[in-house]
Structure 1
Amino acid sequence: MTIHHPLRSVLKVGSNTMVSRLLGFARDVILARLFGAGEMADAFFVAFRVPNLFRRLFGEGAFSQSFVPVLGEYRVTRSVEETRAFVADVAGWLALTLAVVTLVGILGASVVVYAIAPGFVDSPDKFHLTVELLRITFPYLFFVSLVALAGGVLNTYGHFTVPAFTPVFLNLSIIAAALFWAPHLHQPALAVAWGVFIGGVVQLCFQLPALKRVGHLHWPRLRRRDPGVNKVLRLMGPAAFGASVAQINLFLNTILASLVGANVVSYLYYSDRLVEFPLGVFGVALGTVVLPLLSRQAAERSPQFSNTLDWALRLTWLIGLPATVGLLILAQPLLISLFRYGAYTAEDARQSALSLMGYGLGILPIIAARVLAPAFYAHQNTRTPVRFGMISIAVNMGISLILAWPLQQLGLALATSSAALVNTLLLWQRLRRDGLYQPQPGWPALLLKSAGLAVIMGMILLSLRGDTAFWLSLSFWARLVHVLGLVLLAATVYLTGAWWLDIHELRALYRRGPSRG
């Protein structure tokens, strides 16, 4: 196996995800103009976060990490007919579970809002609006989790483009609702919530032709005779928890955010959207490609398993480090350039920048965890990541309770990043202890060279960043040109320096396989 296939797959997933993230930024710019960081924004962001949390529990992360390894095993050891029957059975049980959870969520929306945002009770209008929005957005869970099922099948068969491009339709739907429907309603947030609902339907429909092409467009069934179905169900419980650690931490932080100060929920949302760009474009792409690759190597007992992990971790460090430095230094310019329009004020940008810097410190450990956790799932071990996830949640809550009131959104963001670091270190240490991962030679040189380049890049950005007044004085297009210019300059400095210092991992990405001599 050469690196060309996994690297091309990472780039393919990353480029399609980047389109979605850019549209996501456009969506958030429009929402910032429409809502700002006030009561309506808090209500919508909470209503949207709840189905997103359950999406992680039942959909993308948990389902992929329990279903893809078993599907990969079926492809290797079973006939085509048995594999198709397995997919149909899993789809049936997943759809039934999702239907029940969605119905309960709609009927119990007020209880859910009270649980996730108890601070909203003090503002009855905000509370009731959040409940109404949640009843509209909750069915998104049903559709997007079935989208994850389709994506898992397509990724297992080496088709990454369609699943990576699918989220574009959610952003297009929300943007259309915000621009063309919201201005005509007394409560504009209702239109945006319906945009979420419609986006889920469109995403699922977009996947169906691709499923038919790979021979897996089946009517769902509810048989449990297939041992693979039982295996997926057993794995999915722990996987749901392990895959959702970051989301659960955000969920818990949302509870505290609703209690510690006005608009803190919105500050965390806008900063989280910026952190999600490197996490989504690179972290998700790498995790999406690594899981089926590791699953096949685990099934074949390939000695390349450890080398694939090492390759992915080096790539994580090389890209995650400059992304972290750049985001910390350009936090406020990025927020002003993207969101400082309409109802979103300069003070909102300043407050959001605090949480953005706290979240930014978690970029590297979160991406690394998305590489390390699949190593366990590839061996159909979902319990170990769950244990470590529980520890990281305890860390998050402990630090949050200490820092939330004195530091508000900054304290909550720092707690999330600290928990991510603990989780990653535990995963790494266990893989080393179990002999599943052995670092290859060259790590000290890589760390030293890349850290030096990141420092140089950061100093250049600091010298050219400018102050808040400068960014506020610019027009929309001038801000975008300036911030994109700084990002491109930073990337050029880092990559040129890496080439000049002969960081061979950077060159090896394009011509060699995961293994190194």
Structure 2
Amino acid sequence: MAKSKLFRSTMVVSSMTMLSRVLGLVRDMVLMSVFGAGGLMDAFLVAFKIPNFLRRLFAEGAFSQAFVPVLSEYKERFTLQEVQILISRTSGALLMILSLLTVVVILAAPWVITLFAPGFADSPDKFATASELLRLTFPYLLFISMTAFAGSILQSYGRFAAPAFAPVLLNLCMISGALIFAPMFSKPIMALGYSVAIAGLLQFMIQLPQLWQQKLLVAPKVNFQHEGVRRILKLMLPAIFGVSVTQINLLLNTVFASLMMGGSVSWLYAAERLSELPLGLIGVAIGTVILPSLSASEAKKDDVTFRKTLDWASRLIILIGIPAAAALFVLSDVLMQSLFMRGEFVLRDAQMSGLALRSMSGGILGFMLIKIFAPAFFARQDTKTPVKIGVVAVIANMVFSVIFIGVFYFFKLPLHGGLALATTGASFVNAGLLYYFLHKRDLFRFGPHWKKLFAQFGFSCAVMVAALYAMLPYFPTHSAQWQRIGALLIISAIGAAVYGVVLLATGFRPRQLKHG
């Protein structure tokens, strides 16, 4: 991929992701308003989180990281026909594995809910509803995994728009389910289960025309003996753990939260959704774009471009990640009150969700760095290192959870805040160890020019934080929602402007974001 295309491709993915995230916020505002926090909403969130977790684990996580480097190598070394055969055999293997898994989970839904939400056993209605919903939502994994497969192919050929736009359809389907179809059901929450499954199918279908244009729309065939398939599976199995540690930690939080006071699952979900806004907008976008580039550099043995690509990605990540984490911390309550406090989602829910977001906000930078450091290993077809680091990070998350829950209990604070803080700690353990091994192997390091950059980013962020705190007393907590959202937008715009102006005043220039 040419250097000039990296930034352009990042902007395409980022803009589509922004549209998806904005609609995602609208979706969550609608869901919280219609169904509230706790009760059956907790049941849906668990039933949705299980296939969503596996999606990130298998499809967007380990599979993409294992498939793209192999596909890039086939593009460089073999004919189009060989590439088509690889795609056919890989899709056949993926379909077979996921179809079997889907059938097993549908049949064993109550046992799966018991595993992932043991606290629901004390509430028979919530447990039964969660089991029903899981049977409806789990086919989403099959459809969305094929969507991720198609997206990986298109991204390897420089086509980023359709894969990045696909999540918009999920948000539109769920909004329609809550507002239009939910009243038609005797149990309204069930409409969301159908919406999720339909959205998965639609996301896959919109990518088929571009695959056909690229002559890459081929019929799936099962052949686990194909050399490319064997390599992908070999890379994928350990990568399942290594690339998705963040999701494993968040899922562990759900297990613990199901044992806490009612509403804890929903409060953590609201915080996760807002923390994912900068992560998806920049972290996921850059990670998506650089993987094909890093894989191509590795295939050509071009170590210089490999390092420059990581350095460029790190500059963008830290430029956005530091102020994003700080702003989420300062504006946590304001964000929850502006976006979610309506209908069944009351002030107490906003405050509880705000506590979770404050605890989770510090990990935004760690989460974002993982998104660019992990692909550096997978581009080199090294899955063992991220796996070892992933094991350490999961253990760290469990240790931090015990410690912070104990601290929050001692100070009589809501325990779900301790879970969120544990996730933050684990993210920095993960990102720090990934960087350590990149540095040790001379693949990437923060060179001398980073001293000045860190000083510029840090000082500008400190001034922005001071400006945000100065504006907080004027936020209209008890006004109408549109007034709260308006005030939030004004505060955010002023904060961003202060950060940008101070950054320019310290000598930083936009040309420093150029690749290389």
Q: Which bin holds the TM-score, normalised by the shorter protein?
A: over 0.9
Q: CA deviation at 1:507?
A: 2.4
What residue number does 1:456 align with?
463
Hey, what's the Cα distance between the residues in 1 that align with 2:456 and 2:305? 26
Counterpart residue identity of residue 507, structure 2: D
Q: CA deviation at 1:319?
A: 0.6
**TM-score, normalised by the number of residues in structure 1:** 0.97
1:193 aligns with 2:198: no
Q: CA deviation at 1:438?
A: 3.4
What residue number does 2:32 align with?
32
Q: CA deviation at 1:2?
A: 6.0
Q: CA deviation at 1:244?
A: 1.4
**Is the Cα–Cα contact under 8 Å of residues 256 and 404 in structure 1 kept in the other structure?**
no
Q: 1:480 aligns with which of 485, 495, 501?
A: 485
Counterpart residue identity of residue 154, structure 2: L
Hey, what's the Cα distance between the residues in 2 that align with 1:301 and 1:38? 53
What residue number does 1:354 align with?
355
Identity over aligned pairs, percent: 43
Q: Report matched runs for 1:21-170 at 5 Å.
A: 21-170=21-170
**Is the Cα–Cα contact under 8 Å of residues 116 and 255 in structure 1 kept in the other structure?**
yes
Hey, what's the Cα distance between the residues in 2 that align with 1:2 and 1:128? 53
Deviation track 1:93-129 (CA, whole Å, cap 9, x = no partner) reads: 0011010111111111111110111011011111111
Q: CA deviation at 1:310?
A: 1.2
State the SS of the aligned residue for 1:221: coil
Counterpart residue identity of residue 148, structure 2: A
Q: CA deviation at 1:225?
A: 4.0
**Is the Cα–Cα contact under 8 Å of residues 38 and 264 in structure 2 kept in the other structure?**
no
Q: CA deviation at 1:357?
A: 0.8
* Matched positions, count: 509
Hey, what's the Cα distance between the residues in 1 that align with 2:307 and 2:136? 45
Q: CA deviation at 1:404?
A: 2.7
Hey, what's the Cα distance between the residues in 2 that align with 1:235 and 1:491? 41
Q: CA deviation at 1:314?
A: 1.5
Deviation track 1:384-430 (CA, whole Å, cap 9, x = no partner) reads: 10110010000101111222352511100010111110011110000
Q: 1:508 aligns with which of 502, 507, 512?
A: 512
Deviation track 1:295-335 (CA, whole Å, cap 9, x = no partner) reads: 10111111211111111112111110010111111111111
Hey, what's the Cα distance between the residues in 2 that align with 1:109 and 1:306? 46
Q: CA deviation at 1:260?
A: 2.4
Unaligned 5+ residue runs, structure 1?
none
1:8 aligns with 2:15: no
Q: CA deviation at 1:489?
A: 1.2
Q: Segments of 4+ in structure 1 off by > 6 A?
A: none
Counterpart residue identity of residue 386, structure 2: P
Hey, what's the Cα distance between the residues in 2 that align with 1:233 and 1:400? 33
Q: 1:423 aligns with which of 430, 438, 441?
A: 430
Q: 2:445 aligns with which of 438, 441, 464?
A: 438
**Is the Cα–Cα contact under 8 Å of residues 102 and 138 in structure 2 kept in the other structure?**
yes
**Is the Cα–Cα contact under 8 Å of residues 38 and 265 in structure 2 kept in the other structure?**
no
Hey, what's the Cα distance between the residues in 2 that align with 1:453 and 1:169? 37
**Is the Cα–Cα contact under 8 Å of residues 10 and 286 in structure 1 kept in the other structure?**
yes
Q: Which stretch has the larger CA shift, 335-344 or 301-310?
A: 301-310
Q: CA deviation at 1:203?
A: 0.6
Counterpart residue identity of residue 252, structure 2: L
**Is the Cα–Cα contact under 8 Å of residues 57 and 247 in structure 2 kept in the other structure?**
no
Counterpart residue identity of residue 446, structure 1: L
**Is the Cα–Cα contact under 8 Å of residues 291 and 378 in structure 1 kept in the other structure?**
yes
Counterpart residue identity of residue 210, structure 2: A
Q: CA deviation at 1:130?
A: 0.6
What residue number does 1:244 align with?
244
Q: Report matched runs for 1:220-259 at 5 Å.
A: 220-259=220-259
Hey, what's the Cα distance between the residues in 1 that align with 2:478 and 2:223? 64
Q: CA deviation at 1:497?
A: 1.8
Hey, what's the Cα distance between the residues in 2 that align with 1:187 and 1:243? 37
